[in-house]
Structure 1
Amino acid sequence: MSTSIRVSDETKEKLARLKREDESWDEFLDRLANEGSGMKAGAWKGTDKAEKAREAINRSRESFQQ
């Protein structure tokens, strides 16, 4: 089965730079689609994002309690 996906030359060049030499375009797109799913553990390590997220959750909960 074959499907064509139209992309600009610029986009194709960007994708080609990410594609490994030993993988097909199908394998590359599958890898790309799967790598982007979900956040990896430790993604916020060394930042204040976790604390800011907790604060936002607490503010949200407080707004419902009023």
Structure 2
Amino acid sequence: MSTSIRVSDDTKQMLERLKREDETFDDLLERLALREKPIDIGAWSEEEADRAREAVKQSRESFER
């Protein structure tokens, strides 16, 4: 089975830079998709969520300086 996916020229150029010499575009997209982990809503404890919020806050503040 085959499916066509339309992408802009810029996106295709980015994908070509990521694509390994020995892989097809299908292989590349599968590799990229497998690398991404789905977000499991509610997976963090309240303590973990607080630490993450604090880390984001500190990161944003560091860019404001």
**Identical positions, percent:** 64
User: After TM superposition, which residue ranges in structure 1, 4 or more long, deviate above 6 angstroms?
Assistant: none
Largest Rg, 1 or 2: 1
Unaligned runs of 5+ in 1: 39-49, 56-66
Shift in Å at residue 51 of structure 1? 7.1
Q: State the distance in 2 between where 1:53 and 1:8 align.
A: 35
- Specify the alignment match of 1:5 in structure 2: 5
- Specify the alignment match of 2:22 in structure 1: 22
Unaligned runs of 5+ in 2: 39-48, 55-65
Count of residue correspondences:
45
> For residues 1-66 of structure 1, what are the structure 2 equivalents within 5 Å?
1-37=1-37, 52-53=51-52
Shift in Å at residue 54 of structure 1? 7.9
Which structure has more relative contact order (CA 8 Å, sep 6+)? It is 2
Q: TM-score, with normalisation over the residues of structure 1?
A: 0.56
